Amino acid sequence: MPTKSDASVEARPSIDKVDKIVAPFPIIMEAEVIHGFGRGSKELGIPTANYPQEYVDTASLTTLETGIYYGYSMVNPKGLGEGKTEPKDESNDLLPMVMSLGWNPFYKNEKRSAEVHVIHKFKKDFYGQTMKTIVLGYIRPERNYDSLEDLVADINFDIEFAKKSLQRPNYSKEAISNLL
Ligand code: ADP
Ligand code: RBF
Ligand code: MG
């Protein structure tokens, strides 16, 4: 029985060594944000906006390797829509993100999920809104951990990895806006 975690925070690069966007990237995802597993990700300081199961199960996403990715997301990209009463602000911009796609071995999920942590402080939740995500690179495979603390430490490392990787010219917000 595998009781040991796959790896704790082992030495790993802190920036993507792939320095231009190559296939299968960029991958564009767009769907509504739904309620997730309610595991208190937000309480850990890492809220994740979950995509619907039917969307995760669509053909184009099932062929994608599971693991942790980085790129940008945009919440309510088209601005005011049905039932949206708030004016647009910086929370509707292209914002850096990290995404987990897979089985969450730490929680032993039975379905493949896609959840995005947007690296931005939002004033309020955005359940029910459309979120567009532009996936630009792969960070690492999913792992199991000995403790929640180890999982959170690894996610925080992913966030730093994403921030650094997105500062490179080919990955700037300006460069990526031109792809959309
Ligand atoms: P759930 O289990 O419902 O997904 P979470 O604790 O993961 O709950 O919180 C996710 C929700 O928090 C998102 O659906 C979104 O409405 C909100 N949220 C607030 N800030 C962020 C952020 N920076 N990244 C992702 N979601 C955020
Ligand atoms: N879950 C895992 O079981 N293993 C992982 O390696 C893992 N990595 C993650 C990396 C990122 C950037 C994010 C946002 C989530 C990750 N998760 C992982 C999912 C995590 O278990 C989930 O978001 C929980 O709800 C956090 O409490
Ligand atoms: Mg979530």
pLDDT 10s digits, 91-131: 889 999 999 999 999 999 999 999 999 999 999 999 999 99
pLDDT of residue 3: 40
> 113 in ligand 2 pocket by Cβ < 6 Å?
no
pLDDT given for residue 85 in this prediction: 65
Ligand 2 neighbour 68 (Cβ under 6 A): yes
Tokens of 172: 């700037």
Low-confidence ranges of the chain (pLDDT < 70): 1-10, 79-85
pLDDT for the residue numbered 43:
86
CA distance 28 to 132: 7
Distance CA 92, CA 142 (A): 29
Number of residues in the chain: 180
Q: What is the pLDDT of residue 25?
A: 96
pLDDT at position 82 is 55
Given this model, what pLDDT does residue 9 score?
53
CB-based contact 133:115 (threshold 8 Å): no
pLDDT score at 88: 79
Which residue minimizes the CA distance to atom 2 of ligand 2?
A: 104
* Residue 30 burial (10 A CB sphere; 0-12, 13-18, 19+): middle
Q: Which atom of ligand 1 has the smallest separation from the CA of 42?
A: 6
Residue 92 identity = N
Query: Taking the model in full, what pTM does it have?
Result: 0.93
Name the residue at shortest CA distance from atom 26 of ligand 2: 41
What is the pLDDT at residue 68? 98
> Which residues carry out catalysis?
115
Query: Which of 31, 144, 20 lies closest to 77, judged by CA?
Result: 31
- Establish whether residue 16 lines the binding site of ligand 2, counting it when its CB lies within 6 angstroms of any ligand atom: no
pLDDT number for residue 1: 39
CA distance 173 to 154: 25
